[in-house]
Amino acid sequence: MNNHLSTQGLGFGTVVGIGTDIIECDRIGGMLQKHGDEFLQRVFTPREIAYCGDRKMSQLHYAGRWAAKEAILKVLGTGWAKGIQWTDVEIVNLASGAPSVVLANRALEIATGLGIREVQVSISHCKEYATAFAIGLR
């Protein structure tokens, strides 16, 4: 009986980088109250704003996307330096509901330079916290 999983030949990529982040949902709620649309448009894309804005307790979803963006920049090894804008990293949802990463502009250039072909992300949140884990694959 085979009691192990082999990834050989299954097309799994080489891990280039990993990242994780956690944020208090109330922190994002405070930013939304204090800065409103200015904050939303600086940090989130129109698709992210539409998705989160349509959700009950939208601050949890905004916080999840914030954490995902932070985790992805850790994958790239840049933080918010090297000319990357918040909206260069976008989190959209697949038909299944799973989050998917779309990179643009400087974030895409850096990922391409690192040989990253795919970035996967997982997001979780509860009333108090949102967390995300991201992995970049070559």
How does pLDDT run across 49-62, given as a tens digit for each residue?
Answer: 999 999 999 999 99
Give the pLDDT score at 3.
57
Which amino acid, 100? S
- With beta carbons less than 8 A apart as the criterion, state whether 125 and 61 touch: yes
Q: Is residue 46 part of a domain?
A: yes
Give the pLDDT score at 36.
93
Which amino acid, 22? I
Q: Is residue 89 part of a domain?
A: yes
Q: Which helix (H) or strand (E) holds 135?
A: strand 129-137
Q: Is residue 60 part of a domain?
A: yes
Q: Is residue 71 part of a domain?
A: yes
pLDDT tens sequence across 31-55: 999 999 999 999 999 999 999 999 9
- Three-state SS at 20: strand
Q: Is the pLDDT of residue 24 over 80?
A: yes
Mean pLDDT confidence for 1-28: 76
Q: How many domains does the structure of the chain reveal? A: 1
Q: Is residue 3 part of a domain?
A: no
CATH number of the domain at 87, please: 3.90.470.20
- With beta carbons less than 8 A apart as the criterion, state whether 125 and 110 touch: no
What is the model's pTM? Answer: 0.89
Q: Is residue 88 part of a domain?
A: yes
Q: What whole-number distance in Å separates Cα of residue 89 and Cα of residue 106?
A: 9
- Lowest-confidence segment of 2-6, 11-15, 60-64, 95-99 by average pLDDT: 2-6
pLDDT tens sequence across 88-127: 999 999 999 999 999 999 999 999 999 999 999 999 999 9
Q: Is residue 26 part of a domain?
A: yes
Q: Is residue 7 part of a domain?
A: no
Q: How confident is the model at residue 9 (pLDDT cuts 50, 70, 90)?
A: very low
What range defines the domain where residue 92 resides?
A: 15-137
Give the pLDDT score at 12.
66
Give the pLDDT score at 48.
98
- With beta carbons less than 8 A apart as the criterion, state whether 134 and 101 touch: yes
Sequence-ordered list of residues with C-beta below 8 angstroms from that of 115, at least 6 positions apart, any chain: 16, 138
